[in-house]
Homo-oligomer: A and B are copies of this chain.
Amino acid sequence: MANWDDIRLFLELAREGSLSAAARRLKVDHSTVARRIATLERDLGLRLFDRLSRGYALTEEGDTLRTSAERMEQEAIALQRQASGRPALQGTVRINTTPMFASLFLTSRLVEFRRLHPDIRIALSGDQRLVNLNRREADIAIRLAKPSESGLIARRMGSVGFGLYASRRYLSTTRPRDYGFIGYDEALGHIAQQQWLEAQLRGRPIAFQCSDMTTMYHAACADMGVAVLPHFIGTTDPQLRRVAAETASADRDIWLMVHPDLRRAPRIRAVMDYLVALFERERNLLASGAAARPRRRALPS
A residues at B contact (CB < 8 Å): 1-8, 44-46, 61, 64-65, 68-69, 71-72, 75-76, 78-80, 82-84
Q: Would you call A65 and B82 a contact (CB within 8 A)?
A: yes
Tell me, rounded to whole Å, the shortest Cβ–Cβ distance linking A2 to chain B: 7
Q: Please judge, given known A-B contacts A75-B71, A75-B72, A76-B7, whether A46 and B83 are in contact too, CB under 8 Å.
A: yes
A84 to B43, CA, bound (A): 10
On chain B, the residues within 8 Å of A45 by CB distance are 83-84
Tell me, rounded to whole Å, the shortest Cβ–Cβ distance linking A80 to chain B: 7
Closest to A5 in B: B5
On chain B, the residues within 8 Å of A84 by CB distance are 44-45
Q: Would you call B83 and A44 a contact (CB within 8 A)?
A: yes
A4 to B73, CA, bound (A): 9
Q: Would you call B79 and A69 a contact (CB within 8 A)?
A: yes
Neighbour of A4 across the interface among B8, B46, B68, CB < 8 A: B8
Q: Please judge, given known A-B contacts A5-B5, A8-B1, whether A61 and B76 are in contact too, CB under 8 Å.
A: no
Q: Would you call A80 and B44 a contact (CB within 8 A)?
A: yes
Q: Would you call A7 and B64 a contact (CB within 8 A)?
A: no
Q: Would you call A3 and B5 a contact (CB within 8 A)?
A: yes
A3, A44, A64, A75, most chain B CB atoms within 10 A:
A75
Q: Would you call B1 and A4 a contact (CB within 8 A)?
A: no
Q: Would you call A76 and B44 a contact (CB within 8 A)?
A: no
On chain B, the residues within 8 Å of A75 by CB distance are 68-69, 71-72, 75
A5 to B8, CA, bound (A): 9
Closest to A66 in B: B79
Neighbour of A68 across the interface among B3, B7, B44, B79, CB < 8 A: B79
A80 to B6, CA, bound (A): 13
Closest to A9 in B: B4
On chain B, the residues within 8 Å of A72 by CB distance are 4, 72, 75-76, 79
Tell me, rounded to whole Å, the shortest Cβ–Cβ distance linking A136 to chain B: 34
Tell me, rounded to whole Å, the shortest Cβ–Cβ distance linking A68 to chain B: 4
Tell me, rounded to whole Å, the shortest Cβ–Cβ distance linking A74 to chain B: 8
Tell me, rounded to whole Å, the shortest Cβ–Cβ distance linking A75 to chain B: 4
Q: Please judge, given known A-B contacts A72-B72, A75-B68, A75-B71, whether A2 and B61 are in contact too, CB under 8 Å.
A: no
A2, A8, A76, most chain B CB atoms within 10 A:
A76
Q: Would you call A79 and B7 a contact (CB within 8 A)?
A: yes
List 15 A–B pairs whose Cβ atoms lie within 8 Å, in order of A's numbering.
Answer: A1-B80, A4-B7, A4-B76, A7-B79, A44-B83, A44-B84, A45-B84, A61-B83, A65-B82, A68-B75, A68-B76, A68-B79, A69-B79, A72-B75, A72-B79
Q: Would you call A80 and B8 a contact (CB within 8 A)?
A: no
Given A4-B4, A68-B78, A72-B72, 8 other A-B residues pairs in contact with their CB atoms under 8 A: A1-B80, A4-B8, A4-B76, A61-B83, A65-B83, A68-B76, A69-B79, A72-B79
